[in-house]
């Protein structure tokens, strides 16, 4: 078809769709909402019913296109149509929907970031311990070598050693009432023993007599216990002669020596060890066993002088250890101090007695639980016996005895026992007379009941062997075992042992009141003083300690 003629005044129709300056970016039309742009319908309404030429139609189409498309009018018409469609769709989306989509995407991104950063925190919360920064500040502990416990030392600044003469009571008035049954002895408990006081020691009963474990040594109780236990007038007279012999052999400084009177005594059978502390303790124990203290008794002056010598000889760490007596001397001295304190409650003796116990605690073998010649040394049954008796004496005096020390002693006894505990060796399992008696007595104090099968077998073995005529060390421990066990076994043992000692005691001359018989390691080293001390304490067995198994169980002795 031929082109229609152009109307007058409509010349240059192509000028209307002229391209805008390139300085204006094409994105501006895109950013505006569709409603803000002039609709084509309004353009058409401007000339209602007017006929447009083909040139006008092209100009109108050019306005509807993006500016970029107008600039590139020679591009493919299909591609321009697609761009126009996407532009129109984007412009048709509401603004709130666009904002919502953007915020959702932002929240998802933040959620992912939050999970990533929270995860290590969650791991840290599950970790037990401090953070790396804190752990760097912690100092590592280093193992150091143990030193001797300072708290066990008793220095001159802590305890002032004063003559015991200041604490001596007035001379007791002797009346006929002393031979009558006395009321229970009043005991003043000191606060140190509140945690370890043996409850049964205040409740023991022997017939009509009530008192502490050592209160059988009083004058009234003594005569009664001698009658009930099987003692005689002859046995008591032998004890009296022995105490007189000790008095005649005391050194001027209050001590005793195994070399009687430092070697100038005419009595034969002098001992050899240079152990003045041990000899002094062995002389004091028979006095204490008979009820003599530094406050009362016929020999209170001798006891006072002996105790004063021991307190003055004690080392700052509480030790009585000496070259000739080692831990034997210390155990004996500890027993003497603890018994003297238990019988008198004299506070001037409390600190020395407790210090002696503290040294025993320190000297215990930390591995095997025993004691021997030197502190911390592997133990033997003989030395263990004296240390455990010292701990028992301190326990009855209401002094502090750590339970773990008693447990260690039981551990040692387990290591040297045989036949399930009825027999004991020296440093290893065995079956020897003296060590059997020591082990059984220790077991009694450590809690074995009267019905313990091993105890019964051990007592039967001692009963069948009978007392020894030369081994006073065995006799000393065996007599205590039989006395505590009582029954038919004691009735069989007692008259043999009692009469043997009464009949063999020296009755005249400078030796009167002493004993010595046979040879042997202990007899030769300890001499007449050692032998006399052991024999005297055997004859005091009726009242020296109250029997364990009378109306109370053995486990009440040492409270663990």
More confident residue, 560 or 222: 222
Smallest CA-to-CA distance from 475 within 430, 408, 522, 545 is with: 522
What was the pLDDT predicted at 453? 97
129: phi > 0 → left, psi -120 to 50 → alpha, else beta; which?
A: left
Would you state the structure tokens that stand for residue 527, as one six-digit string?
């001499």
* Percentage of the chain lying above the pLDDT 70 cut: 63
* Burial classification of residue 266, based on how many CB atoms lie within 10 Å of its CB (0-12 exposed, 13-18 middle, 19 or more buried): exposed
Between CA 191 and CA 194 the distance in angstroms is 5
pLDDT digits (tens, 9 = 90+) for 165-174: 433 333 333 3
Q: Which of 260-264, 310-314, 556-560 has the lowest mean pLDDT?
A: 556-560
Q: Is the pLDDT of residue 299 over 70?
A: yes
Between CA 47 and CA 53 the distance in angstroms is 13
Q: Is the pLDDT of residue 292 over 50?
A: yes
Q: Which of 215-224, 355-364, 433-442, 451-460 has the lowest mean pLDDT?
A: 215-224
State phi, psi for 255 to the nearest 5 degrees: -95, 175
State phi, psi for 146 to the nearest 5 degrees: -70, 140
More confident residue, 113 or 236: 236
Between CA 159 and CA 137 the distance in angstroms is 44
Smallest CA-to-CA distance from 326 within 393, 362, 277 is with: 277
pLDDT digits (tens, 9 = 90+) for 3-35: 444 444 444 444 444 434 444 444 444 434 334
| Confidence category of residue 154, pLDDT binned at 50, 70, 90 | very low
Q: Assign 10 to helix, strand or coil.
A: coil
Between CA 80 and CA 68 the distance in angstroms is 10
pLDDT digits (tens, 9 = 90+) for 206-249: 333 334 556 567 777 888 999 999 999 999 999 999 999 999 99
Containing H/E element for 432? Answer: none
More confident residue, 447 or 11: 447
Q: Is the pLDDT of residue 143 over 90?
A: no
| Mean pLDDT rounded to a whole number for the chain | 76
Smallest CA-to-CA distance from 290 within 299, 282, 281, 277 is with: 299
Smallest CA-to-CA distance from 255 within 200, 305, 327 is with: 305
Residue ranges of domains in the chain, CATH in brackets? 207-556 (1.50.10.20)
pLDDT digits (tens, 9 = 90+) for 68-88: 444 444 444 555 555 555 555
What was the pLDDT predicted at 7? 43
Q: Is the pLDDT of residue 502 over 50?
A: yes
pLDDT digits (tens, 9 = 90+) for 94-106: 778 888 888 899 8
Q: Per-residue pLDDT averaged across 516-524, rounded?
A: 84
Q: Per-residue pLDDT averaged across 347-363, rounded?
A: 98
Q: Is the pLDDT of residue 508 over 50?
A: yes
| Confidence category of residue 484, pLDDT binned at 50, 70, 90 | very high
More confident residue, 326 or 114: 326
What was the pLDDT predicted at 290? 96
Q: Is the pLDDT of residue 475 over 90?
A: yes
């Amino acid at each position: 078809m031929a082109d229609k003629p152009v109307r007058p005044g409509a010349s240059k129709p192509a000028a209307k769709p002229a391209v805008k300056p390139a300085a204006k970016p094409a994105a501006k039309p895109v950013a505006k909402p569709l409603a803000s742009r002039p609709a084509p319908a309004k353009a058409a309404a401007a000339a209602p019913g007017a006929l447009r030429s083909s040139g006008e139609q092209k100009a109108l189409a050019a306005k509807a296109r993006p500016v970029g498309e107008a600039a590139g009018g020679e591009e493919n018409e299909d591609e321009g149509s697609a761009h126009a469609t996407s532009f129109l769709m984007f412009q048709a989306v509401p603004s709130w929907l666009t904002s919502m989509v953007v915020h959702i995407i932002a929240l998802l991104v933040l959620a992912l970031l939050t999970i990533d950063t929270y995860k290590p925190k969650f791991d840290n919360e599950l970790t037990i311990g401090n953070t790396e920064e804190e752990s760097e500040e912690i100092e590592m502990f280093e193992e150091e070598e143990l030193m001797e416990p300072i708290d066990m030392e008793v220095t001159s600044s802590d305890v002032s050693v004063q003559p015991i003469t200041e604490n001596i009571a007035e001379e007791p008035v002797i009346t006929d009432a002393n031979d009558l049954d006395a009321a229970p002895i009043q005991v003043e408990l000191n606060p140190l023993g509140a945690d370890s006081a043996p409850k049964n020691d205040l409740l023991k009963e022997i017939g009509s007599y009530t008192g502490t474990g050592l209160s059988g040594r009083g004058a009234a109780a003594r005569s009664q216990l001698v009658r009930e236990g099987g003692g005689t007038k002859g046995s008591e007279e032998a004890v009296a002669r022995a105490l007189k012999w000790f008095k005649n052999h005391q050194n001027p400084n209050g001590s005793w020596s195994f070399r009687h009177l430092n070697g100038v005594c005419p009595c034969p059978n002098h001992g050899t060890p240079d152990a003045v502390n041990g000899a002094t303790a062995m002389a004091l124990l028979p006095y204490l066993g008979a009820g003599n203290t530094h406050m009362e008794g016929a020999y209170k002056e001798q006891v006072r002088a002996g105790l004063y010598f021991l307190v003055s000889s004690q080392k700052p760490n509480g030790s009585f250890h000496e070259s000739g007596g080692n831990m034997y001397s210390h155990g004996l001295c500890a027993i003497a101090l603890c018994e003297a304190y238990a019988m008198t409650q004299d506070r001037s003796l409390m600190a020395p007695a407790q210090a002696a116990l503290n040294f025993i605690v320190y000297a215990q073998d930390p591995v095997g639980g025993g004691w021997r010649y030197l502190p911390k040394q592997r133990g033997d049954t003989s030395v263990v016996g004296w240390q455990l008796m010292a701990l028992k004496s301190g326990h009855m005096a209401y002094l502090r005895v750590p339970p773990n020390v008693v447990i260690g002693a039981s551990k040692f006894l387990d290591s040297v026992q045989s036949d399930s505990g009825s027999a004991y060796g020296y440093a290893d399992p065995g079956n020897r007379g003296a060590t059997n008696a020591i082990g059984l007595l220790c077991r009694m104090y450590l809690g074995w009941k009267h019905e313990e099968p091993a105890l019964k077998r051990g007592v039967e073995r001692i009963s069948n062997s009978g007392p020894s005529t030369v081994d006073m060390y065995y006799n000393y421990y065996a007599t205590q075992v039989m006395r505590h066990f009582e029954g038919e076994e004691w009735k069989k043992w007692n008259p043999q042992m009692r009469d043997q000692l009464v009949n063999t005691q020296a009755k005249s001359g400078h030796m009167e009141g002493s004993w010595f018989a046979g040879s042997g390691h202990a007899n030769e080293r300890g001499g007449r003083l050692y032998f006399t001390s052991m024999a005297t304490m055997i004859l005091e067995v009726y009242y020296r300690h109250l029997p364990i198994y009378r109306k109370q169980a053995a486990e009440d002795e040492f409270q663990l």
